[in-house]
Amino acid sequence: MAEQTQIGKSDLYVNPIGLGTNAVGGHNIYPNLSEETGKDVVRTALAHGINFLDTAFIYGPERSEELVGDVLKEEKMRKETVIATKGAHKFVGGDVVFDNSPAFLKQAVDGSLKRLQTDYIDLFYIHFPDEDTPKAEAVGALKELKDQGKIRAIGVSNFSIDQLKEANQDGYVDVLQSEYNLFKREAEKEILPFTKEHNISFIPYFPLAAGLLGGKYNKKTTFDDGRAKNPLFQGEAFERNLEKVDELREIANEKGAEIAHVVLAWYLTRDAIDVLIPGAKKPEQVVKNLKTLDVELTNEDVEKISRIFQP
């Protein structure tokens, strides 16, 4: 098993490669998902030493948490596993709104506990900020739940730097999860320095930029999903981005590694990043993700990659 790493200032210790489970029961995100395959993805992760699972109410909705809970119960591995989940989405009529009010967050945690079939959640995130609730008040509600033993660590997700500062005014925030990858490095300006200074762990999502940093696309590749509207995948920008990925390919070839593993290894060299949560739709992808830990980047490699993707 990989050496365990501490998540920020929390008392959570995990394999640096976790598993994002939005493709486990996330029927509202990916069409035609097999739930049995999703459960196999989780089983494979546990069997290969991955002990950090990241889910959320909105994946499904609710179904991802239920399937993760089912597998942990079947495998009798709840105590060995660190579960992260998120809440804030609320359905009002046919609309989804965000609610960070203390009453709603407490209700969200109770709902997640039930679906996950557990009496505590290791890391609970406010998934998105709302427009009304003072952030310190929302985090204060989670601190109450932490004191009650319902959660072990407090996270916020998709918070701006100002929202993060407000949320952390009492020093209660353990983790920030936000979008960050080699093409989208805005977090380096203020957010990463702040998280490092306050010993808040930063967990990036979309680390492979919708597959672009996986090295599997070329100039003739076309997309008929959300990527077709993503600026990274359009016209000349797409061609320039592919050229950058080709430079990564050289580094990967030297190391006998895949491009994706080199990219993920680079993130783990960032001061505030303790753990990554790449997703997987198939069990074999879980095993592949773990190969990241075999990639050794020199200081020169790290600087070269940083230069290639200079914002």
Give 96-144 pLDDT, tens digit per residue: 999 999 999 999 999 999 999 999 999 999 999 999 999 999 999 999 9
Concatenate the DSSP letters of all residues of the chain into one string.
-PPPEE-TTSS-EE-SB-EE-TTSS-TTTSTT--HHHHHHHHHHHHHTT--EEE--TTTTTTHHHHHHHHHHHHHT-TTT-EEEEEE-EEEETTEEEE---HHHHHHHHHHHHHHHT-S-EEEEEE-S--SSS-HHHHHHHHHHHHHTTSEEEEEEES--HHHHHHHTTTS---EEEEE-BTTB-GGGTTHHHHHHHTT-EEEEESTTTTTGGGT---TT----SGGGG-GGGSHHHHHHHHHHHHHHHHHHHHHT--HHHHHHHHHTTSTT---B--B-SSHHHHHHHGGGGG----HHHHHHHHHHT--
Looking at 30, 59, 172, 217, which residue is catalytic? 59
pLDDT tens digits for range 178-210: 999 999 999 999 999 999 999 999 999 999 999
**Which domains, ranges and CATH numbers included, belong to the chain?**
5-211+259-297 (3.20.20.100)
Q: Cα separation of 20 and 25, whole Å?
A: 12
Return d(Cα 254, Cα 183) in angstroms, integer. 22
- pLDDT, position 230: 95
Contact, 123 vs 109, CB < 8 A?
Answer: no
**Residue 238: strand pairing partners:** none
Share of the chain above pLDDT 70, in %: 100
Q: Answer yes or no: 59 catalytic.
A: yes
In this prediction, residue 285 carries a pLDDT of 96
Residue 279 scores a pLDDT above 80: yes
The angle that helices 235-255 and 259-267 make with each other, rounded to 10 degrees, is 90
d(CA 243, CA 74): 46
pTM over 0.85: yes
Give Cα 167 to chain centroid, integer Å. 19
Q: What percent of the chain has pLDDT over 90?
A: 97
Amino acid 1: pLDDT: 64
Task: Show Cβ contacts of residue 245 under 8 Å, excluding neighbours closer than 6 positions.
Answer: 212, 213, 215, 217, 259
Region 255-264 average pLDDT:
97
- When pLDDT is cut at 50, 70 and 90, the band that residue 10 belongs to is very high
pLDDT tens-digit readout, 62-104: 999 999 999 999 999 999 999 999 999 999 998 999 999 999 9
Query: What pLDDT, in 10s, does the model give residues 202-240?
Result: 999 999 999 999 999 999 999 988 898 999 999 999 999
pLDDT band at 2 (very low <50, low <70, confident <90, very high): confident
Span 32-49, mean pLDDT?
A: 98
